[in-house]
Structure 1
């Protein structure tokens, strides 16, 4: 007997309505039936943009649990996410940001059943950063789709930004998940069954978002737990500054190659396993990491 489909839990920021629509379609195709989302909009987001996104959600048949506005403190997402998880109740929770499209080697029900059979209370994922063929941070057309606009996938998050590329993609309701969904203290995912988290962050407008993040965290307008998020943003901005405003697709460290949401990347299980088992925090102030 297959498990009940998980409840999807997400905090959604000011993304384009077309991305939200593609995201919902993707997870419905995976078998998700219950979406618990909340919107959070920092002060700079125009009212019209908020209203358009809320209307798009309703058109998709999803009534947001809530909408908040104000500073995007580092703890904001975690607090809002945990409130949604409490509301979702018992069972499995699927955790995904609005720019994360998870890809599994088997149907979701089978993935969950296998985790339960093997005694795992979480399922892990690994970020696969998606970018345009030119490395430019471009917009995209809904009719063409995300795969066409961002055909390359690679390991930008940890090999350039020195960020944690690991994700907890599925967790039992009583498992505590850390901020950013990167780990679940006391629980290790099965390293041989890591899902691909296609990360469509590197779109038009992200550089302005990163500059705003650096400014607000640096001045204390937004409160941070550690300098990690600000440092990661700074590394990306420095990189594109050195490369004429684009991501260097030819750098072998990033291992960019053509990938698709329709099929798992070639040799993914061994590639993902080698990364998630070897990854360690980059700097001393992250030494409270435990896994």
Structure 2
């Protein structure tokens, strides 16, 4: 497991580690990065939670969250991990596979693929509110709906590289592996639990810091996506409009992959194109 983790709640980190251990992950290489606004007590709580989970962070850094920071930390972790297959996930991403990881990797090797692809399935509360959650109840209960906000509302790239050979270079955010294409008939579901309590403040901070140059960006894409979500909730009285048919929000679960997922994921992954200011799609 390779992951760069920001100031998430310790309970989310614990749920994340349990999920990936259940998938079969035994070795976690994680690095923490804390922006300047995060108080010391919160940093210490998260680091302590990691140690209680039996994971010693490979590194911890602090300061502005420039767009290149995540990539630099991720690549340093990958260099330390060594040869083999690397699983990559953010702390709010819970991957779901149709088969055990060993079988998924064996299938990729059999077909000559050096990466395995995933597609974000954005998880939201039934009410559309950006609420908190109770560890004893779990994420599935708090955020029972899964839909396609990332690309249909934010115009972001919903594709993920979830598994990659050690020598395959990855683009920022693990969205692409230049020169390598995943098998579109075997796309993993990436349950994306980003839309929780506190996210609106994070998005406002992101827009402000990238706009002023406090945080460096390569393109305005990240803050544009944040701005679209903020505009949407302003238009809908502070909630995500889960009834919008574009989002295809329906009840899903980490225990069972949606029956329609293979065809659904393939159609989105093969048709997705980056958004342009003119509203026209272009091929990458």
TM-score tier after normalising by the smaller chain length: over 0.9
Taking the aligned partners of 2:9 and 2:164, their CA distance within structure 1 comes to: 28
Asked whether the equivalents of residues 185 and 290 of structure 1 are also in contact (C-alpha less than 8 Å), the reply is: no
Distance 2:75 2:251 in 1: 35
TM-score by length of 1: 0.95
Number of residue pairs aligned between Structure 1 and Structure 2: 282
State the 1:265 CA deviation.
1.1
Deviations 1:175-221 (A, max 9, x none): 00000000000000000000000000000000000000000000000
Question: In the TM superposition, what whole-angstrom CA distance separates every residue of 1:26-61 from its partner, at most 9, and x where no partner exists?
Answer: 000000000000000000000000000000000000
Query: CA offset at residue 253 of structure 1?
Result: 0.1
What is the CA deviation profile of residues 203-241 of structure 1, one whole-angstrom value per residue up to 9, with x for unaligned ones?
A: 000000000000000000000000000000000000000
Residue in 2 that maps onto 1:75: 68
Q: Secondary structure, in 3 states, of the residue corresponding to 1:127? A: strand
Matched-pair contact (CA < 8 Å) for 2:273–2:283? no
1:200-239 to structure 2, matched below 5 A, reads 200-239=193-232
3-state SS, counterpart of residue 237 of structure 1: helix
Structure 1 partner of 2:247: 254
Give the one of 152, 165, 168 matched to 1:159.
Answer: 152
CA RMSD after TM alignment: 1.2
Deviation above 2 Å: which 4+ runs of structure 1? Answer: none
Give the structure 2 partner of residue 133 of structure 1: 126
Match of 1:146 in 2: 139
- TM norm structure 2: 0.98
Gaps of 5+ in 1: 1-7
Shift of 1:284: 5.8
1:266 deviation in Å? 2.3
Give the 3-state SS of the residue equivalent to 1:197 in structure 2.
strand
Q: Which residue, out of 182, 188, 193, partners 1:195?
A: 188
Q: Is the 8 A contact 2:2 2:29 kept in 1?
A: yes
Per-residue deviation, 1:282:
0.2
> Which whole-Å deviations, capped at 9, do the CAs of 1:97-138 have from their partners, x for residues lacking one?
000000000000000010001000000000000000000000
Asked whether 1:279 is paired with 2:272, we answer: yes
Q: 1:97 aligns with which of 83, 90, 96?
A: 90
